[in-house]
Amino acid sequence: MDRHLSQDVRPVFASENVPTMRAPDVSLHRRLLLRGGAGLLGVSALPLAPLLAAAQSGELCVDGQAERTAKQTAGPFHLTGAPFRDDFRVEGMDGKDLTVRGQVVDVACRPVTGAVLDVWQADPTGVYDTRSFQLRGKVQTDADGRYQFLTLKPGSYGSGFVRTPHIHVRVQAEGLLELTTQLYFPDEELNAQDALYRPDLLMSVSKGYAGLSATFNFVMEPA
Ligand SMILES: [Fe+2]
């Protein structure tokens, strides 16, 4: 099957939101919900190298409100029925280990418990597995709305168009609108050439002893 289908590159929706940058707030609640996750989940206490880039900078919640995460096309490679698991890696497949973690909240900044994140991506060489569930899986948020999964960093792909490395995520939760989007990596040369790339969908990525560590927080709106 041709993995370079053009449906995966459609124009960015001009109406999607762009996060508002505000001065840091000192309240504990807000510090726990800082965008980028460095203050979320205690990541800053880990022996990680300096952040490669401060994506999702600014606050996730301002005056008890959060701007919804921008939606993007699912593209042609989603498969239904991916298994629940927190490690999507494939035995024997070369690549950089990547841990992705963060929090799901609603637009009122309330953590969303039990949200299901359906994740799919290309392998490190830019190929999607469409016959099984390699590098795919579902995870569920805990009581604080937090999620985490382990995977391999995806490669870029495209022929006649450019898809910079990205991870597809569909988030579903009771009472909230389904959110399908794509997450991007900072400092990628191809970001500027990818018509779908959006800076507000950048993960914060750092290098640690166990590979790459990325964070992204999702904001869902009411159904
Ligand atoms: Fe894709």
Please tell me the distance from the alpha carbon of residue 43 to that of residue 48, in angstroms, as a whole number.
Answer: 8
Distance 177 CA to ligand 1 centre (A): 22
Q: Taking residues 190-214, report their average pLDDT.
A: 96
Q: Taking residues 138-160, report their average pLDDT.
A: 97
Confidence of residue 60 (pLDDT cuts 50, 70, 90): confident
Distance 7 CA to ligand 1 centre (A): 10
Distance 72 CA to ligand 1 centre (A): 11
Distance 130 CA to ligand 1 centre (A): 12
Q: Taking residues 42-62, report their average pLDDT.
A: 49
Residues in the chain: 223
Distance 121 CA to ligand 1 centre (A): 6
Residue 23 CB partners (closer than 8 Å, separation 6+):
none
Q: With 80 as the cut, is the pLDDT of residue 191 above it?
A: yes
Confidence of residue 59 (pLDDT cuts 50, 70, 90): confident
Distance 71 CA to ligand 1 centre (A): 14
Alpha-carbon separation of residue 88 from 69, 83, 123, 161, 167 (angstroms): 24, 10, 11, 27, 12
Six-digit token pair at 39? 């203050």
Beta strands 136-140 and 179-184: pairing type? unpaired
Confidence of residue 183 (pLDDT cuts 50, 70, 90): very high
Half-sphere exposure of 30 (CA within 13 A, CB side): 14
Distance 11 CA to ligand 1 centre (A): 14
Q: What is the pLDDT of residue 187?
A: 94
Distance 156 CA to ligand 1 centre (A): 9
The CATH classification of domain 22-65+85-223, taken from the options 2.60.40.3080, 2.60.130.10, 3.40.1440.60, 3.40.50.300: 2.60.130.10
Distance 201 CA to ligand 1 centre (A): 14
For 119-147, what is each residue's pLDDT tens digit? 999 999 999 999 999 999 999 999 999 99
Distance 165 CA to ligand 1 centre (A): 8
Residues near ligand 1 ion, CB 5 Å cutoff:
75
DSSP character at residue 154: P
Confidence of residue 58 (pLDDT cuts 50, 70, 90): low
Give 194's strand partners: none
Chain mean pLDDT for the chain? 81
Q: Taking residues 144-155, report their average pLDDT.
A: 98
For 77-119, what is each residue's pLDDT tens digit? 999 999 999 999 999 999 999 999 999 999 999 999 999 999 9
Q: Taking residues 37-55, report their average pLDDT.
A: 37
Q: Residue 65, SS3?
A: strand
Q: What is the pLDDT of residue 213?
A: 97
Distance 154 CA to ligand 1 centre (A): 9
